[in-house]
Structure 1
Amino acid sequence: MSAARGVAVISGGAAGIGLAIAERLAADGFPVAILTRTEGAAEQAAASIEQSGGIARGYSADVSDRGQVDDALAKIRADLGPLSVLVANAAVAPQQPFLEMTLEQWNQTLSINLTGTFNLVQAGLPDLIEAGKGRVILISSSSAQRGAPRMAHYAASKGGQLALTKALAVEFARTGVTVNTVVPSSIDTPSVEKKRAAGTIPSAEDMAKYIPVGRMGRGEDIAGAVAYLASDESSYVTGQTISVNGGSFIG
């Protein structure tokens, strides 16, 4: 059951890993607020969750724009109540060779993946501190741990999340708020399927050959780890990185 009866906010929660997280937290009893920059997508995802018996609302917001984040959180508080869990999942994962990467491409990736995380967490954290408990959960990537060719901007942004987790966990430990990161690897999502169709990544079968458990991950695998970190049982867990990768040991 939830660490508090407050709202769980999931950025990038309308599809893939984010949607799986939203569905799981709603099933666990959280009122869920889904943020996405695609007009109408969050509302559609929330409607699907409500049809399954959960409480959910969708809000359009670009996490790289602080004003939009502030406005969305104000609406969430008015609609559903104070925040309890912040899941920073919104991200882009473009591919460009490093020597051909433009400053604009670099900045755009960091503005969504890392500054977007900053915006959501800083804007929502006061609710958690006031309550004396709460959960901040960042969704990083194994690219930050092992590197990723043609994705230097993505790997750097995700590595920044790992460092941010450590800093915030220490700074806010005495408030009752925990801060942790889940690190997915080889998760089958709609965005991965698009890259597979474009021929930029191998087939699921080929990728599974290099994963010890013998399959690619699912959004539900990540959602399970998030659900634990959002629960009462994780109150003594903070500043940690939980890798959900099918046994792919990354050093």
Structure 2
Amino acid sequence: MFRLDGKVALLVGGGSGIGEASAHALAANGAHVVVADLNGEAASRTADAIVQTGYAAEGLTLDLTDAGAVEDAVAGILRQHGRLDIGVSSPSINVRKPLLDYTPEEFERVLRVNMGGTFNLLQSAGRAMAEGGGGSLIAFSSIRSQVVEPGQSVYAATKAGTLQLLRGLASELGGRGVRANAVAPGVIDTPLTAPIKNNPQWYEAYAQKSVFGRWGRPEEIAGAVVYLASDAASFVTGTVLFVDGGWTSMDGRFTPPL
């Protein structure tokens, strides 16, 4: 029930990190994956690596914040493959600083990528899926949609907003066979979180917030994407799947002497 044979997926942000791992996982389970990224060379590297392992993929340069480009990409996939079954939006950026120190330009930039870009993919892919009779839309939220820390307010707002976009879309398109869900990772070792490694105390504090005492790996998120894309999740829509190592289930960082 987890197989994706015969399905076509558009995964944006597949040049690195969670997106790259998810592209490999979708392809390994049978999907033809269009790996898109603002960095076209990175997208092509991911696609080539997938093909070298015997699965089907192609690379595409795509700016998720360009609504016209996203619409054209979806139209191109429909022309070439005749269908679009899976749409995944993974790119995010973060300007980590106190809210009172944010500039209007920084605020707009984070919203434009995290919310605006996700909106563009959900709208274009969602329209194609509704007209085609079904599909699965997946976007990345975060533990920050639920819990926040200093310096994360704007990023957290976009991740909460992403979740609500998906819930609204699920309610609107469910009758046309389209599911819409979010994946909410915890702290994952990716380029986005790489700067934290420069502060060992900070890095270790995040590790200990997981019940496993470590950071997550991108490939540990990919299974959630495959699940939500597959028929195994045929009755799952409008929800969020946390893959956070228990972060949101624990109360604080101190284990009482029991």
Q: Same fold (TM over 0.5)?
A: yes
Which whole-Å CA distance do the structure 2 matches of 1:217 and 1:207 have between them?
10
Report the AA paired with residue 17 of structure 1: I
**1:151: how far off?**
2.2
**1:216: how far off?**
1.4
Is the aligned partner of 1:155 residue 2:147? no
CA separation of 1:201 and 1:33: change in aligned 2, threshold 3 A: farther
User: Do the aligned residues in 1 keep the contact of 2:181 with 2:228 (CA within 8 Å)?
Assistant: yes
**1:2: how far off?**
4.3
**1:15: how far off?**
0.5
Please show how residues 101-112 of structure 1 align to structure 2 within 5 Å: 101-112=102-113
| Residue ranges of structure 1 left out of the alignment (5+ in a row) | none
Q: Deviations along 1:113-145, whole A, 9 cap, x unmatched?
A: 111111011111232123322101111111121
Which whole-Å CA distance do the structure 1 matches of 2:235 and 2:49 have between them?
34
Is the aligned partner of 1:76 residue 2:77? yes
Q: Deviations along 1:130-170, whole A, 9 cap, x unmatched?
A: 33221011111111210132122211111101111211111
Report the AA paired with residue 35 of structure 2: I
CA separation of 1:101 and 1:175: change in aligned 2, threshold 3 A: same
* RMSD (CA atoms): 1.9
User: Do the aligned residues in 2 keep the contact of 1:91 with 1:113 (CA within 8 Å)?
Assistant: yes
Report the AA paired with residue 240 of structure 2: T
User: Do the aligned residues in 1 keep the contact of 2:147 with 2:248 (CA within 8 Å)?
Assistant: no
SS state at 2:241 partner: strand
Report the AA paired with residue 202 of structure 2: P
Structure 2 partner of 1:129:
130
Report the AA paired with residue 118 of structure 1: F
Report the AA paired with residue 243 of structure 2: V
CA separation of 1:81 and 1:195: change in aligned 2, threshold 3 A: farther
Which whole-Å CA distance do the structure 1 matches of 2:145 and 2:17 have between them?
20
CA separation of 1:110 and 1:4: change in aligned 2, threshold 3 A: farther
SS state at 2:180 partner: strand
More displaced stretch, 164-173 vs 76-85: 76-85
Report the AA paired with residue 231 of structure 1: S
**1:6: how far off?**
3.1
Which whole-Å CA distance do the structure 1 matches of 2:3 and 2:79 have between them?
20
User: Do the aligned residues in 2 keep the contact of 1:50 with 1:56 (CA within 8 Å)?
Assistant: yes
| Residue ranges of structure 2 left out of the alignment (5+ in a row) | 251-258
User: Do the aligned residues in 2 keep the contact of 1:195 with 1:201 (CA within 8 Å)?
Assistant: no
The alignment covers a number of residue pairs equal to 249
SS state at 1:172 partner: helix
SS state at 1:209 partner: helix
Identity of aligned residues (%): 39
User: Do the aligned residues in 2 keep the contact of 1:64 with 1:112 (CA within 8 Å)?
Assistant: yes
Report the AA paired with residue 54 of structure 1: Y
Q: Deviations along 1:193-243, whole A, 9 cap, x unmatched?
A: 23423x39823x442222112221111221111111111111111111111
**1:49: how far off?**
0.9
More displaced stretch, 17-26 vs 149-158: 149-158
Report the AA paired with residue 65 of structure 2: S
Structure 2 partner of 1:202:
202
